[in-house]
Structure 1
Amino acid sequence: MQQGVLLRRVIAAATPIALSYIPIGVACGVLGTKCGLGPGLAAVLSATIISGGAQFMISNMWLAGLPTATIVASVCAISLRFALYSASLAPYLQRARKRTALAMAFTLIEEGYGVTLAKLADGDRDWTFRHALALNAITIATWVASVAAGAVLGAVVNVPTAIASFAMTALFIYLLWDQLQGGSAGNAIAAAAGAAVVIACKLAGWTAIAVPLAAVVGVAAAMAATRADTGKKGDEVK
């Protein structure tokens, strides 16, 4: 009975995430075929790099002919956000077993993280780490299957690269707009600082380091602004 309740709760939380993954994952798989990835390699990449944005970035930068070192640095830079996600979950994981904490770390994805953190922060006692792990497993499996299906489609149907790669641009524009709508000053500062760095690098001819440098500067600017704001609030309380 408990297993059935657990499964129903997880499926209810996972369904909207999984449905949004399917079209984006298919587009990612189609784009991957332009880089020579077959369904098998696309699935392996999707299961080991738990970041759809990073996968799109790899394909686009590869097609642009950028050096491998630049691609690796860019992926590492945009993946730094997972360290922040982990830090925010750490207080709740102190009561979990080590193997559970490790499992959460290896399956941490943005949407699953958002759902789990919200439920834990709200004191939802019915949402356990088992729920969180099951949610991560379902959504990751959906993403892997969607990317593999896209790779199959890309192998039999000639989809223009511009159409497939536009999915990444649209995805990041949506994510940026959604973050800015939240009203967070840190998000706005990070976006502005990152955009300024990219423009400056493009004008200087430093195209290869534009993306990773923008990511680092944007995160650093947002953290500095957040700390300054926290310090002011602390002084006001005193």
Structure 2
Amino acid sequence: MSISQASLTLDEAPYRRPSEFRRGVAASTPVLLGIIPYALVLGAQAAQKGLSVVEVPLMTGMNFAGGSEFAAIQLWTSPPHILLIAAITLLVNSRHFLMGAALAPFLSHLPRR
């Protein structure tokens, strides 16, 4: 730690926030550029099914899992079959159980938190 960082007091801490924010934006931009095409396709499919501008972010916020969002949109009817959509979402995302079990030996040295 440099002397300038060590001498940073609590009063000066808020002045570092904009630079940290810019660093975070710069680090996340490549991921964001990769997500935009998927978001456009999901939005187009949601518009075809008649979902509103409020319903799509609500659905993606509650079901943050890529492929299952597309499956949920395809299964969407009026009224929606919630149990069917939930079951398909669980089925699509069950791959994470297998990936977690496969990665567990490589991550066992890390703390659980």
Q: Which structure 2 residues correspond to residues 197-208 of structure 1 after superposition, within 5 A? A: none
Deviation at 1:36, TM superposition (A): 2.1
Give the AA of the match of 2:33.
Answer: L
Measured in 2, the distance between the counterparts of 1:26 and 1:43 equals 12
Question: 59, 67, 87: which one pairs with 1:73?
Answer: 87
| SS of equivalent residue, structure 1 residue 37 | coil
Identity, in percent, stands at 24
Aligned to 1:45: 59
Question: 49, 56, 60: which one pairs with 2:70?
Answer: 56
Give the AA of the match of 2:100.
Answer: L
Deviations 1:126-174 (A, max 9, x none): xxxxxxxxxxxxxxxxxxxxxxxxxxxxxxxxxxxxxxxxxxxxxxxxx
Measured in 2, the distance between the counterparts of 1:22 and 1:2 equals 30
TM-score (norm 1): 0.32
Deviations 1:71-122 (A, max 9, x none): 321201222317939x75x7262xxxxxxxxxxxxxxxxxxxxxxxxxxxxx
Q: Report which of the two has the higher share of helix.
A: 1
| SS of equivalent residue, structure 1 residue 71 | helix
Unaligned runs of 5+ in 2: 1-14
Aligned pairs, number: 89
Q: Which has the larger radius of gyration?
A: 2
Instruction: Give the root-mean-square deviation of aligned CA atoms.
Output: 3.0
Deviation at 1:56, TM superposition (A): 0.6
Question: 1, 5, 15: which one pairs with 2:29?
Answer: 15
Q: Which structure 2 residues correspond to residues 156-175 of structure 1 after superposition, within 5 A? A: none
| SS of equivalent residue, structure 2 residue 76 | helix
Q: Which structure 2 residues correspond to residues 210-221 of structure 1 after superposition, within 5 A? A: none
Question: 93, 100, 104: which one pairs with 1:84?
Answer: 100
Question: 36, 40, 47: which one pairs with 1:33?
Answer: 47
Find runs of 4+ consecutive structure 1 residues off by over 4 angstroms.
none
Aligned to 1:211: none
Deviation at 1:23, TM superposition (A): 1.9
Unaligned runs of 5+ in 1: 94-238
TM-score (norm 2): 0.60
